[in-house]
Amino acid sequence: MALQRLGHATNLELHEALAADLPELSLTSMHRITARLIERGEIGTVATDARTVVLDARPETHDHFVCTKCGGVVDIEIPDSAINAIQQQLGTHLADAGVVVRGVCAVCRTREGSAQRSS
């Protein structure tokens, strides 16, 4: 499945990745298929606060880094000790949903440094 190759992707990205092999596949059916896979627990979603759902090839709970510039998603492994420290301050159990860390990825930082665009 293409999502395995992409790791993390929105329905739109996944649809684009499959378009060459499956030109008949509509974005609507794409949404329907991925919704069923999520329901069955075969794929997961990333808990970003973005409006678009980011699909995850790994169904089990894990932590993510999300780039605030390009929206890129990377799997990260936050040690239990760090999770516990955060949980103590919040009084809630974070491990259930996985932790999302936000920042600017290396690619975007390099791009920023060379282009120097203000936005």
| From 12, 50, 70, 86, residue interacting with Zn ion (rule: CB under 5 A) | 70
Identify which of 47, 42, 81, 73 has the alpha carbon closest to the alpha carbon of residue 58: 42
In the complex, least distance from residue 70 CB atom to Zn ion, rounded to whole angstroms: 3
69 binds Zn ion (CB under 5 A): yes
* Pairing of the two strands 100-103 and 63-67: parallel
The answer to whether 25 touches 18, Cβ cutoff 8 Å, is yes
Among the listed ranges 10-18, 19-27, 74-82, 92-100, the one in contact with Zn ion (CB under 5 A) is 74-82
- Amino acid (1-letter code) at residue 50: A
Among the listed ranges 12-20, 32-40, 95-103, 108-116, the one in contact with Zn ion (CB under 5 A) is 108-116
82 binds Zn ion (CB under 5 A): no
56 binds Zn ion (CB under 5 A): yes
| From 16, 17, 72, 87, residue interacting with Zn ion (rule: CB under 5 A) | 72
The string of DSSP codes covering 79-114 is: -HHHHHHHHHHHTS--TTT--EEEE--HHHHHHHHH
Where do contacts with Zn ion occur on this chain (CB under 5 A)? 56, 58, 67, 69-70, 72, 75, 105, 108
